[in-house]
Amino acid sequence: MRPHLGVAFARIAPLLAPLLALLAAPVPSHAQDFDGPAPAGPSPLPAPLLERALPGGAPALRLEALAVEWGGLGDFTTRALVIGAGCRAARIAAGLSSTGDPELGWNAAALGAGCATGSFGAGLRVIGRRDRSGDSAPRAAGLEVGGGFWAALPRGAVLWASLPALATAGESPPLDRGLESGARARAGELSLWLGWSAPVRAADTGERLAGVALERGQAAVWFEARDRPLRASFGIRGERGPIGVGFAVSEHPVLGETVRLALTARADGTP
C-alpha cells in the first residue's frame, strides 16, 4: 500500500507546488450567474466548471437547471440552464443565465473546458454578460475569463484553487472576485473542508469558510459557515436514477436569505 501511495504522490508533487503557493494567500461571494447548490470545491456537476473553472466527476452528459433567489428578493432572481459533457479526461460545459428584472438585470452566456483525472483537474471559463435594458443607449456588456486547478492527495484529500477573474474587459462583473482556495479531507461518509479568499482590494479583508458534509449513497447533506460577516448555509442533494435535486439556503445578517434550487438530468448509460 505504501509504495503505491509514494508513486502517486511523486506523480502529482510537481503539480502541487504552485497550488500550495496559492493556498498561502488568504472564498469570496460567488457571482450570480451559475452558482447552484453545491459544496465548495470540485464537483461532478457542470455548473462549477462555469462558476469556478473547476472540472470534475465522471465523463457524463448532464443537464442542470438552476434557480437562485437572492436576499429574499423575488425581483432579483437568477435562472440558468447548463449542459456538460465529457470524453475520457476531457470536460466541457456551456450555459445561459438571466438575472434580475428587465430594468436592473442582465443576461450571461458561458463556456468552460478542462480536464479531470483521478489525480488532478484544470479548467478555464469564459463568460459574457450584457445588460437587459439600455433605453436609447447601447446596452453595457462585459467579458470575464478565469481558471482553476485541483489536485488529489492520498486518503481522499483534495486541494483546489480558483481565480474566476483572471482577466476582464468591458463592463465590470457584478461582484469582484479574487483567488479562491481550499482543502477538503474525507473519512468514510464524512467530508470536512476549509477555504480562503484573497482580498480583492487593499481595503478588503478576504473571507474564510469551513464546511462539513455527510454523503450516503446518492444523497448528501452539508453545512458551511463563512465569516466577515459571520453567516451560515445548509444544503441537501439527492439522486434517484438519472434525476437529481439540490436545495441550499444561506443566511446573511444584512442581505437576508438566499435560496438555491437545482434540477439535474443525467443521460442514461453514463456513470
In a domain, 233, yes or no: yes
What total number of domains does the chain contain?
1
In a domain, 271, yes or no: no
pLDDT digits (tens, 9 = 90+) for 177-214: 889 999 999 999 999 999 999 888 765 778 999 999 99
Domain limits for position 42: 2-266
**CATH number of residue 96's parent domain:** 2.40.160.40
Residue-level pLDDT at 257: 93
Residue-level pLDDT at 176: 83
Residue-level pLDDT at 6: 43
What residues in the chain have per-residue pLDDT under 50? 1-30
DSSP letters of the chain?
A: -HHHHHHHHHHHHHHHHHHHHHHT-------SSS--S--SS--SSSHHHHHH----S-S--EEEEEEEEGGG-TTSEEEEEEEEEEETTEEEEEEEEEES-TTT-EEEEEEEEEEE-SSEEEEEEEEEEEES--TTSPPPEEEEEEEEEEEE-GGG-EEEEEEEEEEEEESPPSS----EEEEEEEETTEEEEEEEE--SSTT---EEEEEEEEEETTEEEEEEEETTTTEEEEEEEEEETTEEEEEEEEEETTTEEEEEEEEEEE-TT--
Residue-level pLDDT at 270: 54
Residue-level pLDDT at 242: 93
In a domain, 161, yes or no: yes
The reported pTM is 0.84
